[in-house]
Amino acid sequence: MMKKYLVTTAALMISILVFSACGTTNDEGSDSSDQNGSQELTVIGSNWEFDQETYTIPANVDVAFNYEDAEGIHGVKLRPYDDKDNIIVEVMDGDSATINLEPGTYEIRCLTFCGDPGHKEMRSQLVVE
Ligand SMILES: [Cu+2]
């Protein structure tokens, strides 16, 4: 009798855990703006790509540029295509930097050497318009 009660309780607890795990899943987009009009961009890296090929943000406004590792250790280096020595910002996992850019197309590359040949493939573009 007691044993059956324990099994039932355990099953109930497991289903609560499963349910609450599903319940905390939030579906945030990569680009979002709050009511103050401030902007945010989140880039997520894994082995060996970023979560989007192209990111788009508005020009001449402060944008919080966030980076997260979903898999492996990477990071983001942002620079103009036509001036590759001009690194605008470098962001590692969990970090954020404020950017405010002129219109144009910028290159997003992996910051950390994370393996061959995948590291070289980790490129996306940021369109500022
Ligand atoms: Cu890399």
Q: Order across the sheet with 123-128: list the strands.
A: 54-57, 123-128, 104-110, 76-80, 89-91
Q: What is the pLDDT of residue 38?
A: 73
pLDDT value at position 80? 95
Residue numbers of the domain that contains 75? 27-128
Q: How far is ligand 1, taken at its centre, from the CA of residue 35, in Å?
A: 35
Q: 9-18, 68-77, 85-94: lowest mean pLDDT where?
A: 9-18
User: In CATH, what number is assigned to the domain containing residue 98?
Assistant: 2.60.40.420
State the distance from the centre of ligand 1 to the C-alpha of 68, rounded, in angstroms. 13
Residue 62 Cα to ligand 1 middle (Å): 27
Q: How far is the CA of 74 from the centre of ligand 1 (A)?
A: 5
Is residue 21 included in any domain, yes or no? no
- Whole-number Å distance, alpha carbon 115 to ligand 1 midpoint, is 6
Residue 14 located in a structural domain = no
Task: Establish if 15 belongs to a structural domain.
Answer: no
- On whether residue 7 sits in a domain, the answer given is no
- Evaluate whether residue 9 is within a structural domain: no
The total of structural domains in the chain comes to: 1
Residue 122 in domain: yes
Residue 98 maps to a domain: yes
Q: 72, 111 in Cβ contact below 8 A?
A: no
Contacts 24+ apart (CB under 8 A), 119-124: 119/48, 121/48, 121/49, 122/45, 122/48, 122/49, 122/50, 122/74, 124/43, 124/49, 124/50, 124/52, 124/53, 124/54, 124/55
Q: How far is the CA of 41 from the centre of ligand 1 (A)?
A: 20
Average pLDDT over residues 91-99: 98
Distance 77 CA to ligand 1 centre (A): 10
Per-residue pLDDT tens digits for 27-46? 444 455 555 567 999 999 99
| Least trusted range by pLDDT, from 34-38, 94-98, 102-106, 120-124 | 34-38
Q: Does residue 91 belong to any structural domain of this protein?
A: yes
